[in-house]
Amino acid sequence: MSKTNLHSNRPLSPHLQIYKPIPTMVMSIVHRITGCALYFGTLLVAWWLIAAATSQQQFDIVSMVYGSWIGLLVLLGYTWALIHHMIGGIRHLIWDTGRGLEKDTTTKMAWASLIASVLLTILVWVAVFALA
């Protein structure tokens, strides 16, 4: 057999359909997605700050948008993305020290970061609505 026939059926590079999703891989992907989401969310924070500095009318418009059900859903997602990305960053910081790199530990840390981010997001929103 020629060398070209042997390699012709193989993909040029591995892709997501070849790999079985494992928690550390999924959390790595989610960490990148939340990083991108934080960029969009920061634009929303900037819009809020600019409206607050501009006029009462502009601030009322932003408050109306953020107070709608879809605005609250976006803010909930932004809160979760912020917390999840922060916890993922802490996880990477721990790995940078050379600790927690064993396979079972990384899997536990991936699940823990997901659970902690959801619980902390709920805690933040309960606290905000309790103070309001």
**Residue from 79, 95, 90 nearest 113 by CA:** 90
d(CA 40, CA 78): 9
Specify the pTM: 0.84
pLDDT at 2 over 80: no
* Residues 55, 105 contacting (CB under 8 angstroms): no
Structure confidence at residue 3 as a pLDDT band (50, 70, 90): low
Structure confidence at residue 85 as a pLDDT band (50, 70, 90): very high
